[in-house]
Structure 1
Amino acid sequence: MACGLQCLLLYMSIVFLLFMVQSSQAQLRSENGVKTDVFLSPEFVLEPGSVSNKFYYNIDFPRGHIAIKSFNGEVIDEKGNPIPLHETYLHHWAVGRYYQQKGIDIPKHHGDLRFLHSDHTIIMNSGVCDGVFPQYFGLGSETRKTATDVPDPYGIEVGNPADIPDGYEERWMLNVHAIDTRGAEDKLGCIECRCDLYNVTADEYGCALLPNYIGGLKCCYDSARCRVKEGFEGVKRSLFLRYTVKYVDWDASVVPVKIYILDVTDIWTKADESRGLKARHHCLVEYDVESCPVGMADDHCIHTKTSTFTWPKTGGDVIYGVAHQHTGGIGSTLYGEGGRVICSSNPTYGTGDEPGNEAGYVVGMSTCYPSPGSIKIAAGETLTLVSNYNSARRHTGVMGLFYLLISDSSTKLDATEAHKSRLMSNFGWLVALFGVGLVVLVIFMFYGKSERGDGYEAIKG
């Protein structure tokens, strides 16, 4: 009878222990497990010298109320092989989101962002350029070796049903700008979109270019062609952007961050309330780097461009920072008041032929991950963005962008408490497991002792 009771207790304890372990593991997987989805863009076809610069709408993307933890991509062929930059140069890719009226569809892809109309609303990032950079993410040749991870407990919130207007749904769009430089007469000239190599005097809309516009986005538009060597032959090939999205389901433990994109070409106009003028950020997107005087040593040939403006938003903690530069870039720094460094981001140049290490190309940008709360930007603070390029030779159509993720301190407090609550819950599970383990151990010891008592007869005197 005693043995039967002990066995029953032992059985129930083991079952309870297994239940507790499974429940704890499920909760930990839910909290710490980052989901990863890999998608392909629609196909784009390139041949030597050709350009593809299309916008793809309603792309595959994780759905629901989620927190994005990273986004990155690379150009591949039909077999999934990565394509090196010296064959197809990834000028840039950019991903954004929009609200689309239900029941109305637009083509899967189109060459013009202006195709969106009144039934579709682009959801901009938090600024600061006035409508110029709508994307949430965007990189270029540096995409393979640039970290885009959003550290815990932070995340980029999307898909919140409370934010989506009635009758609309959230969708995502992708812009891929790629240039096939196989057989090009001047590969650097092609990727810098020099107008003479593309033999154009007007942009894609037929507007004549200004006489001093010698290179940039207006000359390497979709379907344009850069000059290749006479007699060079190369096959057409189908390419894709393979993009990877990491995310977690949204809950109260996630601290939301906002995306800001700064541009060193920003022509900032200060607000003047007495005249009814609002602050304006006129970002030009690209600029030219003039070559240094003949005879100057290369290490002294540095072109510096600077933009200074007042931070127009509420203050917050800097969670992440990275610059975007083209070939010739040697680094960019964002300064706060008093010359304090908020973030410095420098390029890595490749040294070989393989994808991700292409010699002469920017294959990565260093990033900033300040300790939470250590780097802040105050509302109304004066910021200075500096972009440096090597000017041993002339460069056209270069960029000096800076991406920031900012956390609002007021929202951080509530989410942090939720995060602590979850940690305490996990701790409670561990304590409970430890207690159950002790109970099982005691039962085993008692049961073993009883077995020893029942199995031997007393020595008779």
Structure 2
Amino acid sequence: MWFATKDMVISLVILLLVLVTPCSSAFWSTHNKIKTAIHYSPATELEPGSVSNKFYYDIEFPRGHVALKGVTAEVVDEAGNPVPLHQTYLHHWGLFRYYESKSKLSTDTRYDPHRVLHMSDSFPNSHILVRNIGICQGIILGQYYGIGSETRGTNTDIPDPFGLEIGNPAQVPEGYEEKWCDLYNVTVNEYGIPLSPSYEGGLYCCYDQTQCRLRKGFHGPKRTLYLRYTVKWIDWDEYVVPVKIYVLDVTDTVKTLDTSNIASSDHDCRVEYKVDPCNSESKKDNECVDVKRTSLPMQKGGYVVYGVAHQHSGGIGSTLYGQDGRVICTSIPNYGSGDEAGNESGYIVGMTTCYPKPGSVKIFDGEKLTMESNYSSTTRSRTGVMGLFYLLVAEQLPHEHRT
């Protein structure tokens, strides 16, 4: 434990401002009503082969009734320089919304709203997790934002006049307040379930403070890193058309139940899967592509405003089809070709996005979609790959919203 006078604390803060912008700082700008803030996560120390999986409560985020217009993130060092993926690989980052009990804050003197938890810890009883619209079971894939290595080169902006509504007082339960938490490098089984002896690799074996095997005799320095995230938003008004977030998973072995004339769905999203190498005959015919598909019933539809897929290295694209076979969105990975951050050779550094003309792409209530995720299987097996699709859907068009 250490103590400091007020002057010492002020001097320390000034020094930190010179060395690196701390997590409580923000840069503000406005352009056509859009506000922008740049924040930093708490520091994370990593050395060669080490894994960090942190869960930060009550991070810096826009307050009040606003419409989110976009969120991006990247890993940077103490000087604010972007860190290349071949030095520190960003598996995932995620933003989750939750309601926190006001009474917990006032009655528990030991309570620290900015504490760091592991995903294996239980979600506190004083918190209510607010997940996206779906469609996976429970809290699986319940984040509002979150991608991985492609984060620097993937557009997340929401076009006008649409926005993702947050901070509406009418939606917050009495006695609670809305806050946000951040999962930096989400790579852990949140339930602490023992791994199967046949499990060959993926997110379940890369939990916090584990150590990857290094080349014998290799030593490297420890580094202090941050997740720098940028948030764009506007104040909420009657002209903003709200959108809802859907996260679809190609591993979802959904079962549609129809009893007593009430249709329901039993989802089972596994998040990751394995791609086996193709056989010699397929290699000879240049057909080494692993194609994984699933059918997903959409209880509630709407107009697609934005779409993007998430894949790992080896991915060659993903497509979402309507029930009649029409293409709703195709998202293709962009691979880097250099050494600099944002263009790392062999890594996915961006995903193409879909911004259909408002009203041109509609998902109908009860429509069954088909999701397809394609991976190259030419050289070797790939463990722990993902096939996700993020959709922003508006239930009304602008002219309908205003009438």
Classify the TM-score, shorter chain: 0.7 to 0.9
Residue among 158, 176, 199 paired with 1:150:
158
The worse-fitting range, judged by mean Cα deviation, of 271-280 and 81-90 is: 271-280
Amino acid at match of 1:168: Y
User: 1:37 deviation in Å?
Assistant: 0.2
Secondary structure of the 2:170 match is helix
Partner of 2:134: 127
The worse-fitting range, judged by mean Cα deviation, of 30-39 and 205-214 is: 205-214
Report the identity percentage. 54
User: 1:226 deviation in Å?
Assistant: 0.8
Partner of 1:51: 51
Partner of 2:246: 260
The 8 Å contact of residues 51 and 178 in structure 1, kept in 2 or not, is answered as no
Residue among 160, 165, 173 paired with 1:165:
173
The 8 Å contact of residues 68 and 155 in structure 1, kept in 2 or not, is answered as yes
User: 1:204 deviation in Å?
Assistant: 8.6
User: 1:312 deviation in Å?
Assistant: 1.6
Residue among 393, 400, 403 paired with 2:390:
403
Q: Please give the alpha-carbon distance, in whole angstroms, between the structure 2 residues aligned to 1:148 and 1:299.
A: 35
The 8 Å contact of residues 295 and 369 in structure 2, kept in 1 or not, is answered as yes
Amino acid at match of 1:143: T
Amino acid at match of 1:318: V
Q: Please give the alpha-carbon distance, in whole angstroms, between the structure 1 residues aligned to 2:370 and 2:39.
A: 37
- Are 1:229 and 2:206 matched, yes or no? no
The 8 Å contact of residues 99 and 168 in structure 1, kept in 2 or not, is answered as yes
Which segments of 5 or more consecutive residues in structure 1 lack a partner in the other structure? 1-28, 180-192, 194-202, 418-461
Partner of 2:92: 92
Q: Please give the alpha-carbon distance, in whole angstroms, between the structure 1 residues aligned to 2:87 and 2:228.
A: 17
Residue among 231, 234, 249 paired with 2:235:
249
Q: Please give the alpha-carbon distance, in whole angstroms, between the structure 2 residues aligned to 1:156 and 1:75.
A: 25
The 8 Å contact of residues 90 and 178 in structure 1, kept in 2 or not, is answered as no
User: 1:414 deviation in Å?
Assistant: 5.2
User: 1:117 deviation in Å?
Assistant: 2.0
Which structure has greater helix proportion? 1
C-alpha RMSD of the superposition: 2.1
Partner of 2:5: none
String of CA shifts for 1:53-111, please: whole Å, max 9, x gaps: 11111001111110000000000011101100001000010101100011424452111
User: 1:116 deviation in Å?
Assistant: 2.1
Q: Any residues of structure 2 matched to 1:15-30 within 5 Å, and which?
A: none
- Are 1:318 and 2:326 matched, yes or no? no
Residue among 116, 119, 144 paired with 2:123:
116
Q: Please give the alpha-carbon distance, in whole angstroms, between the structure 2 residues aligned to 1:117 and 1:138.
A: 22
Amino acid at match of 2:259: E
Secondary structure of the 1:72 match is strand
Scaled by the length of structure 1, the TM-score of the pair is 0.76
The verdict on how the C-alpha distance between 1:205 and 1:171 changes in structure 2, with shifts beyond 3 A counting, is: closer
Partner of 1:438: none
Partner of 1:333: 319
Q: Please give the alpha-carbon distance, in whole angstroms, between the structure 1 residues aligned to 2:186 and 2:388.
A: 19
Structure with larger Rg: 1
Q: Please give the alpha-carbon distance, in whole angstroms, between the structure 2 residues aligned to 1:376 and 1:143.
A: 27
Secondary structure of the 1:90 match is coil
Q: Please give the alpha-carbon distance, in whole angstroms, between the structure 2 residues aligned to 1:168 and 1:408.
A: 28
Partner of 1:305: 292
Q: Please give the alpha-carbon distance, in whole angstroms, between the structure 2 residues aligned to 1:82 and 1:61.
A: 21
Q: Please give the alpha-carbon distance, in whole angstroms, between the structure 2 residues aligned to 1:246 and 1:403.
A: 18
Amino acid at match of 2:129: I
Amino acid at match of 2:77: D
Residue among 360, 364, 378 paired with 2:350:
364
Q: Any residues of structure 2 matched to 1:440-459 within 5 Å, and which?
A: none
Partner of 1:177: 185
User: 1:415 deviation in Å?
Assistant: 3.7
Q: Please give the alpha-carbon distance, in whole angstroms, between the structure 1 residues aligned to 2:323 and 2:146.
A: 28
String of CA shifts for 1:180-209, please: whole Å, max 9, x gaps: xxxxxxxxxxxxx9xxxxxxxxx7976442
The worse-fitting range, judged by mean Cα deviation, of 242-251 and 111-120 is: 111-120
Q: Please give the alpha-carbon distance, in whole angstroms, between the structure 2 residues aligned to 1:35 and 1:415.
A: 24
The 8 Å contact of residues 288 and 397 in structure 1, kept in 2 or not, is answered as yes
Residue among 317, 320, 329 paired with 1:343:
329
The 8 Å contact of residues 74 and 229 in structure 2, kept in 1 or not, is answered as yes
Q: Any residues of structure 2 matched to 1:407-422 within 5 Å, and which?
A: 407-409=394-396, 412-413=398-399, 415-416=401-402
String of CA shifts for 1:165-185, please: whole Å, max 9, x gaps: 121111000001189xxxxxx
